[in-house]
Structure 1
Amino acid sequence: MKLSFKEQSTRSLLKFLLAPLIINFIIELCSRRSLGDTFGYIFGSPLVFLYNSLIILATLSIVLLFKRRTFFFTLITTIWIGFGITNGIILSNRVTPFTATDLTLADLGLGIISKYLSPTVTNLIAGFLIVVAIGIVFLFFKGPKYKGKLNYKKNILIVASVWAFLFLSTKVTLGFNVIASYFGNIAFAYEDYGFPYCFSNTLLNTGIDKPKDYSEEKIASISDLIASNNTSNELSSDAILLASTEGGLNHETDSDKPNIVMVQLESFFDPTLVKYLQFSEDPVPNFRKLMENYSSGYLTVPSVGAGTANTEFEVLTGMSLQFFGPGEYPYKTILQESTAESVSYDLKELGYSTHAIHNNKGTFYGRNFVFSQLGFDTFTSLEYMNVEEYTPKDWAKDFYLTDEILKSLNSTEGSDFVYTISVQAHGDYPKEQILENPKIEVSGLPDEETTNAFTYYINQLYEVDQFVGELVEALSNIDEDTVLVLFGDHLPTLGFKDEDLVNNSIFQTEYVIWSNFDMPKNDQDLTAYQLTSTVLNSLNIDNGVLTKFHNQFKNTNDYLNDLKLLQYDMLYGEHYIYGGTNPFIATDLKMGTYDISITDVYEETTTTEEVEDLETIASSEDPETIEEIDELEGKKNLVVKGENFNEFSKIYINGKYTKTVFIDSNTLMVNNITLEPNSSIVVTQRTTGGGKLGSTNEFIYPIVAEQ
């Protein structure tokens, strides 16, 4: 029986109102991965669930403005449910949920997805996305259209009313604390306030909100306080003690300042802090010994299970992430637009050379650009190292960092600041047994899969601790005064809760400050944004606005309010603290500590004996490399000689990438090739995915004289 117009309209309205509830349910089910938890959330917080459904309804309302309503309804629904599924997948591999910032990190996610998902699962996801995309395109061209005449005035009024109601509801729910605008713990916020609201918040709420009392006069008053307090108390108690200690440093008389090496250890903490774990032996004996004998304590970091770059940002700049948008990565937002005061800039004023080192790809978090915005002179990434050993999850081993740190220290005559980011203990932590005979056995866990994951992590942690011991020994033997700061960037993604830990906080790692000269032991708990200023204070170095500010005011009542004012002024305001102009100019960042260069290019026909020799000296035992060398026999090949080549060194001929055979650190080869006269030969360090990080000098070959 045909429905009347009124009945059809009523039914359409009911469908339109019911759809957001169903979509929201699916999103939360995907995110929480449990029917019980999902219903517990719905019935435990019905107003929150309805508010999140209203957000979805508002986005769906725009379909009224188009005739292809089925297409736009399907598209918006697919995006919402797709985000929910993505959040579920991400939460199965890390603690931090899916945020809008992750969309800007999509290239990074694609680069490491193989470390988290099997090829089969990855291919299934790719296939599913292709089918969905084809279906949506089909709907656009072949889907049904609204046959009536669109009443744009009426429909615009309806859409505007829905969005106005959403805006009003947001004000009311915030006012009655049904939802919150600040996320102290973003993972808990997603659980309490729902995915649609929290994700939308991370999309719309970025940067630092302008403080109500921000003004030139207010910043001047803070600046005056810093100046007056610094004048009346030029040396802190720690610095005075250090200066009076035999062998200590007094920079008023000593021209040489100590090297400062900071090592940010991936997912590193003392696992004996976990109440229910037992080990066959101590997983971190070197770090524990250092903590017993040198300044150390807990370090409060801004994230759990992920967010390495945010801990890095706090340590380098002295700025707190709590004032930024939830889930924001300043590396991907403000530092793409502006430089920022950092310990690198502050130490460069004292004549330091500044170096960054990371045994992962140089483009990760955009570091190959961001580090120039933070004042570094050089950046040595994985593409500039000779790494041959990787973990079963394909992360570079950390012991290679010792040589890279020493290279940086030896690359200059004066003092050096070296910031190193490790990667070995990075997740995912496999639930299947990967290690047949683990050095350390782990017990106290409920099942075999969890035991396998913890066993893998703990044994990687043990190797990282061995690297720590080797690094300390190496720095003990150099002639220059050197300070080493070691700290964890965040806890691993192993499902810890506050109550599982002796220190009752999943946001705390640990730090230790070692030196090869006498320094007083001063244990204290710090935040990541206070760590560097504390280290500099102990060395009687007070360069930098935030260095002075933290050391003088971190125990005062207005500390956080004034810190927010300074951060806003430095990054988003009028730079009153600097006299109205940002004084920090981006550096000409040099990739790698030492130059990669071409010294000669020539052609040769490879004999059987030469092929055998090449196979013998080839640094890689990769069968594909040996196979490529076998193909050289009897062919005319291009040989490029130079310095500091590695497996990431690729030959470009006349601007085009050419398949390159890596022979050794001085030799690259292209087989079976005929060159045009005056061809341009360049060697480029090429990262995974094809990104170019740096190139050598141009070499013209063969040179043909003009007639």
Structure 2
Amino acid sequence: MLKKFKIPYRMLILLITAGVLAASLQICSLKPYQISVFYWITHHKDLYFLSVGILFFILLGLWALFNNIYCALIVAVAGIGALDISQYDKLKLLHEPVYPWDLKQVENLSEMLNIVRNKVSPVLVISLLILILVGIVATYWIPRKKIKLSQRVMYILASGAVILGCTHLQSSVLAAPLAKMGAVDYHWDQKQNYLDNGFMLAFLDNIGAKIETQPADYNQATMKNIMKKYENTTASAAIQSTQEQPNIVFVMDESLFDPTRLTNMTFSEDPMQNFHGFKDTYGTGYSLSPVFGGGTSNVEFEALTGLNMSFINEGGVPYQQVLAKKNNFPSLVSLLKSRGYDATAVHPFDKTFYNRDRVYPVLGFDKFISQDDIKYKDKLSSEGYISDMSAIKQVVDVLNAGADKPQFIHLVTMQNHLPVMDGMNGTNTIQVSGIQDSAAKVEMESYAEGVKETNKADQFLVDSIQQLTRPTIVVVFGDHLPALQSYDGHVAEMTADQKEEFMHQTPLLVAANFPLQEKNLGTIAPSFFGPMVMSLTGQKQPAYYQLLEQIKQQLPGVSPAVYVDGNGTATTELNDDQKKLLHDYELVQYDLLYGKGYAASMLK
């Protein structure tokens, strides 16, 4: 009699497995927020059972695809298990969930495992590997019944229809019934998206979603008015004019932060001694990073394009989701190229990370020097990354080799990238007091050692450009603060706006081999580095940079977390003039990323 119920029996196995997997995803999504999975399921019953249903159809599709239920279960459990680990650790480390575009990092699996090697539980990884091994044995040794071709096709189509119906929540044919179940479109707030809709629906809804929402008044007439307005604007007077086209160097130092800014903490030696000394000679201030703890490519997206992450839906990664799909894109790089510059990108790591190997040519770079091509490969320890000094030496070589033409060089360093471990940057020579937790103390001392070495490398670059005959300007900035354990308690007396500003401020240095009159740069978004450099070197500003200059005068700091006004005050409130300027900015950005490209001529 049981033979008659083999298919329903297998369906029951799939359904039970789907329920367990859905619960595991929610546990890993809620535990970092100290929210009970039972509480969540009680208050989101429909969405939980929707997640179970989605996973059931995924399992059904895998069964039909492999024609082997054991193989389908193995693949699903291993895949969801990997998502569980990734979701929990990413929320703990970066305070953001796993997105579909994160899966592209599978191409860089070995590098990713190296980066998170002290953040992921070895027990979980070993358990997952054992599960896969047991599953493989079961697949080959346990008898299995195959299903007919017609059923396989039907199951695959049903699986695909359910998955597709749960993507693009705004435009899906299932949008209305999903809304009745409690689903809400939260593209602009991904934390709320995953908390309210559950992992499965939030994850699927992000597949193919645009990273920026079209403004209601976006059309050709509006864009023509904006272009006309700023093409007739007089560019700001240059602070310092150079007689010939200058070399321009951007150095984005990985996780560079001034730890001496933290209160109730003392260092036996100032790890930022050289940087602090620069303020007497060069321009110094802070870069207002759009991210915290990770998301490096979003910072260089701002610096190289002049666009801003404050208009991007939360969790968006323009490099991976937009630029990698284009053939060209207007940027500071393409602008300088049109003016006779050679453009070189340097990044001493895997060139495919964040699709840089595809994105850099789109932005206009002639050459990309990655870890495969870099001449200098010294590390501070055997477990560390290629040092900042090695990367800086490569930049100096490019400057010396290209003396006959103006050079634009963009360096993204790796030395201080996670993980921050004892001995990773050599022997710790700086002792930190004021931290009670021993692990956090060692982490801060290891980080301070890395910052000290970065300081030496930046000093070497500043000294080196003084030997060049061509005018040369260097912009050094951190991409974001590192995800360390030692912030809480050291920023407790700040207001909410001040804390947001502090947690996104990284050191900024503008140095040159010619006099710079502006020393106090204040806090400035990376989006404004292009017009800032053009102004400091007396170069003609394109219309787009004139728009950015007007915004910079009122809001030099624009980020998803906080604004910084012309007085250097952190705020989340804007006046009508500021809102109008930012809306023009938003329209131009949407036009370039997704629209008709009417505004492309503004960056020429």
| Superposition TM-score, scaled by structure 1 size | 0.67
- Please give the secondary structure, in 2, of the residue aligned with 1:484: strand
Deviation at 1:508, TM superposition (A): 3.0
Deviation at 1:414, TM superposition (A): 3.2
Aligned with 2:187 (options 181, 187, 194): 181
Aligned equivalents of 2:73, 2:332: Cα separation in 1: 50
- Within 5 Å, which residues of 2 pair with 1:572-591? 572-578=594-600
Corresponding position of 1:271: 259
- Within 5 Å, which residues of 2 pair with 1:28-427? 28-31=26-29, 37-39=34-36, 42-43=38-39, 47=43, 51-61=47-57, 75-76=75-76, 78-91=78-91, 95-117=95-117, 121=122, 124=126, 127-128=129-130, 130-131=132-133, 134=136, 137-138=139-140, 142-143=143-144, 167-168=175-176, 170-171=178-179, 180-183=186-189, 190=194, 194-228=198-232, 230=233, 234-236=234-236, 239=237, 242=239, 248-249=240-241, 255-291=243-279, 294-324=282-312, 326-336=314-324, 337-382=326-371, 383-410=373-400, 411-427=402-418
Aligned equivalents of 1:527, 1:208: Cα separation in 2: 19
Corresponding position of 2:499: 504
Aligned equivalents of 1:284, 1:451: Cα separation in 2: 18
1:438 to 2:434 alignment: no
- Please give the secondary structure, in 2, of the residue aligned with 1:332: helix
Residue by residue over 1:643-686, the C-alpha shift from the partner in whole angstroms, topping out at 9 and shown as x without a partner, is xxxxxxxxxxxxxxxxxxxxxxxxxxxxxxxxxxxxxxxxxxxx
Distance 1:377 1:64, change over 3 A: closer
Aligned equivalents of 1:360, 1:107: Cα separation in 2: 14
Q: Which amino acid aligns with 1:558?
A: K
Deviation at 1:374, TM superposition (A): 1.1
Q: Which amino acid aligns with 2:418?
A: G
Aligned equivalents of 1:329, 1:84: Cα separation in 2: 21
Q: Which amino acid aligns with 1:473?
A: D
Aligned equivalents of 2:409, 2:456: Cα separation in 1: 20
Residue by residue over 1:555-606, the C-alpha shift from the partner in whole angstroms, topping out at 9 and shown as x without a partner, is 4322333333222322332222247xx999xxxxxxxxxxxxxxxxxxxxxx
Deviation at 1:361, TM superposition (A): 3.5
Residue by residue over 1:95-131, the C-alpha shift from the partner in whole angstroms, topping out at 9 and shown as x without a partner, is 5543211211212232342353279949847843742
Q: Which amino acid aligns with 2:398?
A: S
Residue by residue over 1:403-461, the C-alpha shift from the partner in whole angstroms, topping out at 9 and shown as x without a partner, is 3222222213232222111111111112x666885211123334222222222111111
Aligned with 1:464 (options 441, 450, 454): 454
Aligned equivalents of 1:332, 1:454: Cα separation in 2: 32
Q: Which amino acid aligns with 1:225?
A: K
Aligned equivalents of 2:52, 2:280: Cα separation in 1: 54
Which deviates the most, 279-288 or 531-540?
531-540
Corresponding position of 1:664: none
Equivalent pair of 2:376/2:394 in contact (CA under 8 Å): no
Aligned equivalents of 1:365, 1:215: Cα separation in 2: 31
Deviation at 1:221, TM superposition (A): 0.9
- Please give the secondary structure, in 1, of the residue aligned with 2:388: coil
Equivalent pair of 2:293/2:481 in contact (CA under 8 Å): yes
Which deviates the most, 435-444 or 264-273?
435-444
Q: Which amino acid aligns with 2:186?
A: A
Aligned equivalents of 1:74, 1:291: Cα separation in 2: 59
Aligned equivalents of 2:283, 2:55: Cα separation in 1: 53
- Within 5 Å, which residues of 2 pair with 1:650-661? none
Aligned equivalents of 1:126, 1:45: Cα separation in 2: 26
- Please give the secondary structure, in 1, of the residue aligned with 2:378: coil
For structure 1, which runs of at least 5 residues remain unmatched after alignment? 243-247, 585-707
Deviation at 1:62, TM superposition (A): 6.1
Corresponding position of 1:453: 443
Aligned equivalents of 1:398, 1:260: Cα separation in 2: 18
Aligned equivalents of 1:448, 1:560: Cα separation in 2: 45
Aligned equivalents of 1:492, 1:335: Cα separation in 2: 26
Aligned equivalents of 1:547, 1:197: Cα separation in 2: 40
Aligned equivalents of 2:581, 2:603: Cα separation in 1: 24
1:529 to 2:527 alignment: yes
User: Whose radius of gyration is greater, 1 or 2?
Assistant: 1
- Please give the secondary structure, in 2, of the residue aligned with 1:524: strand
Corresponding position of 2:558: none
Identity of aligned pairs, percent?
Answer: 24
Aligned equivalents of 1:55, 1:571: Cα separation in 2: 32
Equivalent pair of 1:31/1:88 in contact (CA under 8 Å): yes
Aligned equivalents of 1:121, 1:379: Cα separation in 2: 35
Aligned equivalents of 1:16, 1:402: Cα separation in 2: 55
Residue by residue over 1:601-643, the C-alpha shift from the partner in whole angstroms, topping out at 9 and shown as x without a partner, is xxxxxxxxxxxxxxxxxxxxxxxxxxxxxxxxxxxxxxxxxxx
Distance 1:292 1:492, change over 3 A: farther
Q: Which amino acid aligns with 1:462?
A: K
Corresponding position of 1:25: 23
Deviation at 1:477, TM superposition (A): 3.4
Deviation at 1:224, TM superposition (A): 0.7
Equivalent pair of 1:21/1:50 in contact (CA under 8 Å): no
Residue by residue over 1:177-207, the C-alpha shift from the partner in whole angstroms, topping out at 9 and shown as x without a partner, is x662213xx5686567643344334323244
Equivalent pair of 2:444/2:486 in contact (CA under 8 Å): no
Aligned equivalents of 1:363, 1:426: Cα separation in 2: 17
Aligned equivalents of 1:180, 1:173: Cα separation in 2: 15
Aligned equivalents of 2:159, 2:128: Cα separation in 1: 38
Q: Which amino acid aligns with 1:86?
A: S
Equivalent pair of 2:329/2:362 in contact (CA under 8 Å): yes
Distance 1:384 1:299, change over 3 A: closer
Distance 1:104 1:351, change over 3 A: same
Aligned equivalents of 2:467, 2:159: Cα separation in 1: 75
Corresponding position of 1:540: 538
Q: Which amino acid aligns with 1:413?
A: D
Distance 1:204 1:365, change over 3 A: closer
Relative contact order higher in (CA < 8 Å, ≥ 6 apart): 2
Residue by residue over 1:530-554, the C-alpha shift from the partner in whole angstroms, topping out at 9 and shown as x without a partner, is 2322332333334445322211345
- Please give the secondary structure, in 2, of the residue aligned with 1:399: helix
Distance 1:332 1:435, change over 3 A: closer
Which deviates the most, 95-104 or 150-159?
150-159
Distance 1:155 1:491, change over 3 A: closer
Which deviates the most, 208-217 or 69-78?
69-78
Q: Which amino acid aligns with 2:366?
A: D
For structure 2, which runs of at least 5 residues remain unmatched after alignment? 167-172, 555-577
Corresponding position of 2:565: none
Residue by residue over 1:56-89, the C-alpha shift from the partner in whole angstroms, topping out at 9 and shown as x without a partner, is 4234246678887955566545533431123234
Distance 1:472 1:151, change over 3 A: closer
Deviation at 1:292, TM superposition (A): 5.9
Higher helix share: 2
Aligned equivalents of 1:417, 1:117: Cα separation in 2: 35
Deviation at 1:487, TM superposition (A): 0.6
Deviation at 1:344, TM superposition (A): 1.3
Equivalent pair of 2:15/2:52 in contact (CA under 8 Å): no
Equivalent pair of 1:268/1:487 in contact (CA under 8 Å): yes
Distance 1:38 1:338, change over 3 A: same
Aligned equivalents of 1:510, 1:548: Cα separation in 2: 25
Equivalent pair of 1:316/1:344 in contact (CA under 8 Å): yes
Aligned equivalents of 2:275, 2:291: Cα separation in 1: 22
Deviation at 1:494, TM superposition (A): 1.5
